[in-house]
Amino acid sequence: MFHWLERNPFFFAVGVFLVVAYAGVVTILPDFMESARPVTGTKPYTVLELAGRQIYIKDSCNACHSQLVRPFKSETDRYGKYSLSGEYAYDRPFLWGSRRAGPDLMRVGNYRTTDWHEYHMLDPKSVVPGSIMPAYKHMFQNVADIDTAYAEAYTVKTVFSVPYDQPDMPTLGTYDEAKKQVMAEASAIVADMKSPEIKEAFQRGEIKEIVALIAYLNRLK
């Protein structure tokens, strides 16, 4: 049979494809629905948090940080409760990472605060001597892209039925409503921050990237 296949490229290709493809079908599909179900209490990201998440992706924090607490005592002692599948139900894309040059951030919102992040992102070494994390000064200059975050929330709501605007869930509403909501959330964070430039910018209606990022980090619990 193999000799025959080697003289018939079409059937050879079909053979290879079948052998290769079915493993994917068998391993991925059976638990697809099950894995997608959120655990109680997990909520979709607000627009400001989503904007922060997009910044996390833009600066590849996942290249150094994981977001997956494995079920070992050494990990639950260090980071908190181990991860459950449903906690990730609204994570598109997932951000588990594959390497811990820095600590896991799955539950960093439980033990770090807005002003800690503010100093740390500006100059990690001054907060944690010996840190090798880069400083992210540009996040104090760049303005967060709220429009794209809104677009993403709106998209997952319409296409994937993510439960915005439902009882006990974050509101999304129209673009203008969302924008108002974002300003309200951001103002709470800006109030906890120390930098006068960030505060001034916020007075002008500008939300810097760092504000959105901190909203996201605070939400990781």
Which residues between 66 and 125 bind ligand HEC (CB under 6 A)? 101-103, 105, 108, 112, 117, 124
Backbone angles phi, psi at 208, to 5 degrees: -75, 155
Q: Which of 21, 143, 184, 188 binds other proteins (CB under 8 A)?
A: 21
- Taking the least distance from each CB to ligand HEC, the nearer of 5 and 64 is 64
Binding partner selected for residue 217 from other proteins, ligand HEC, none, CB under the kind-specific 5 to 8 Å limit: ligand HEC
Separation between Cα atoms, residue 92 and residue 89, nearest integer Å: 8
Site residue total, ligand HEC (CB under 6 A): 22
Length of the chain counted residue by residue: 221
Q: Minimum distance between the CB of residue 165 and other proteins, rounded to whole angstroms? A: 15
Separation between Cα atoms, residue 186 and residue 48, nearest integer Å: 7
Site residue total, other proteins (CB under 8 A): 87
Residues between 149 and 188 that touch other proteins (CB under 8 A): 149-152, 154-156, 158-160, 175
Q: Minimum distance between the CB of residue 191 and other proteins, rounded to whole angstroms? A: 27
Is the CB of residue 141 less than 8 Å from the CB of residue 208?
yes
Compute the Cα dihedral for 79, 139, 189, 86 and give only its sign. negative
Q: Minimum distance between the CB of residue 156 and ligand HEC, rounded to whole angstroms? A: 22
- Taking the least distance from each CB to other proteins, the nearer of 113 and 148 is 148
Q: Which two tokens stand for residue 165?
A: 């605007």
Is the CB of residue 83 less than 8 Å from the CB of residue 68?
yes
Q: Which two tokens stand for residue 176?
A: 């203008």
Compute the Cα dihedral for 66, 67, 71, 75 and give only its sign. positive
Does the bond joining 134 to the residue before it have cis omega, within 30 degrees of 0?
no
Binding partner selected for residue 165 from other proteins, ligand HEC, none, CB under the kind-specific 5 to 8 Å limit: none
Stretch that binds ligand HEC, among 58-66, 85-93, 153-161, 191-199 (CB under 6 A): 58-66
Binding partner selected for residue 164 from ligand HEC, other proteins, none, CB under the kind-specific 5 to 8 Å limit: none
